[in-house]
């Protein structure tokens, strides 16, 4: 991940599109007997808000490594506790009923090892619910890498791209030894956006950050201009002038074995 902080304002420009996967993930959590919840990578609190709505009597804690995101989350949900934490090493207490993680673990290179540790730390019957963008093969991310390699900044951006997610069967084999029930699926969302510039704005708040942060202001402008032209060529307008952003995501819901 990049060293600069996240921008809640940029992230929330597409709040509905970013919250929909969290809503779909929560819908597959089977348990209603939930008293303690941790929202890992809570961001500006949009996913946490879903959790408090479904489980109004539960104790909910939001975790993130971004002070700016936590500040926005506290403003949005002043009655919820939010704390600074690193998802790469964080483990739940043994009394947590639900660990919810919407679009955070894809940033952690060793998440395939970390997720079974998180699930194993939960009590029997508790749930780990995870959603991760699985879009590195899409034009948005393929073109990021191409622009990075073709420009004068190629040396600085050689390691900017995150690793692709493993296949679903790899997650199954990693989690099944401690899971009584495991549900894995992949959904591709097709977001209707107002042209190539909107696509660039969408990914600029997340996937583009590691590519842009190492650059000077002038270099960022050049990178964005080149990238936007490539995005426009890869996303021709629809009949009404809008464009479709294809966004695949991987979902995992695992329930801890009892006993």
Using an 8 Å Cβ cutoff, are 112 and 252 in contact?
no
φ, ψ for residue 177 (rounded to 5)?
-55, -25
Ramachandran category for residue 41: left, alpha or beta (phi over 0 → left; psi -120 to 50 → alpha): left
Q: What is the pLDDT along the chain (259 residues), one digit of tens a residue?
A: 444 655 666 666 788 999 999 999 999 999 999 999 999 999 999 999 999 999 999 999 999 999 999 999 999 999 999 999 999 999 999 999 999 999 999 999 999 999 999 999 999 999 999 999 999 999 999 999 999 999 999 999 999 999 999 999 999 999 999 999 999 999 999 999 999 999 999 999 899 999 999 999 999 999 999 999 999 999 999 999 999 999 999 999 999 999 7
Examine residue 3 and state whether it is found in any structural domain, yes or no: no
For the chain, list the strands marked E by DSSP: 36-40, 59-64, 81-84, 98-102, 127-133, 179-193, 243-256
CA pseudo-torsion sign 253, 81, 18, 110: negative
* CATH number of the domain that residue 200 is part of: 3.40.50.150
SS3 state of residue 204: helix
Q: Output the six-digit token pair for 182.
A: 């495991």
The residue to which tokens 């948005």 are assigned: 140
Examine residue 165 and state whether it is found in any structural domain, yes or no: yes
Examine residue 52 and state whether it is found in any structural domain, yes or no: yes
246, 233, 241: which is closest to 202 by C-alpha?
246
CA pseudo-torsion sign 194, 197, 198, 200: positive
**pTM, whole model, 2 decimals?**
0.94
Whole-number pLDDT of residue 259: 72
Examine residue 61 and state whether it is found in any structural domain, yes or no: yes
Examine residue 56 and state whether it is found in any structural domain, yes or no: yes
Examine residue 12 and state whether it is found in any structural domain, yes or no: yes
198: containing domain? 8-256
Examine residue 1 and state whether it is found in any structural domain, yes or no: no
How many angstroms separate the CA atoms of 182 and 30, rounded? 11
Length of the chain: 259
Helix locations, 97-167, DSSP H: 111-121, 139-150
Q: How far is CA 115 from CA 15, 234, 239, in A?
A: 26, 35, 43
> How are strands ordered across the β-sheet holding 36-40?
81-84, 59-64, 36-40, 98-102, 127-133, 243-256, 179-193
Examine residue 2 and state whether it is found in any structural domain, yes or no: no
State the total domains in the chain: 1
């Amino acid at each position: 991940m990049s060293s600069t902080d996240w921008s809640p304002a940029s992230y929330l420009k597409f709040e509905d599109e970013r919250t929909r996967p969290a809503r779909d993930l929560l819908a597959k959590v089977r348990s209603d007997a939930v008293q303690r919840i941790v929202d890992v990578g809570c961001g500006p609190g949009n996913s946490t808000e879903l959790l408090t709505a479904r489980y109004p009597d539960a104790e909910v804690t939001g975790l993130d490594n971004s002070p700016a995101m936590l500040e926005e989350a506290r403003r949005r949900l002043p009655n919820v506790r939010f704390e600074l934490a690193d998802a790469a090493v964080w483990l739940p207490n043994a009394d947590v009923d639900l660990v919810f993680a919407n679009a955070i673990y894809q940033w952690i290179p060793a998440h395939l090892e970390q997720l079974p540790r998180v699930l194993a730390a939960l009590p029997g019957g508790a749930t780990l619910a995870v959603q991760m963008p699985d879009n590195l093969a899409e034009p948005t991310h393929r073109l990021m890498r191409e622009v990075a390699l073709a420009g004068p900044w190629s040396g600085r951006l050689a390691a900017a791209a995150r690793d692709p997610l493993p296949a679903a069967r790899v997650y199954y084999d990693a989690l099944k030894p401690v899971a009584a029930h495991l549900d894995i699926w992949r959904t591709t969302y097709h977001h209707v956006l107002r042209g190539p510039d909107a696509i660039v704005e969408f990914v600029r708040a997340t996937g583009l950050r590691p590519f842009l942060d190492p650059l000077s202001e002038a270099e960022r402008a050049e990178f964005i201009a080149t990238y936007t032209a490539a995005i426009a060529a890869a996303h021709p307008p629809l009949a009404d002038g809008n464009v479709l952003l294809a966004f695949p995501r991987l979902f995992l819901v695992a329930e801890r074995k009892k006993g």
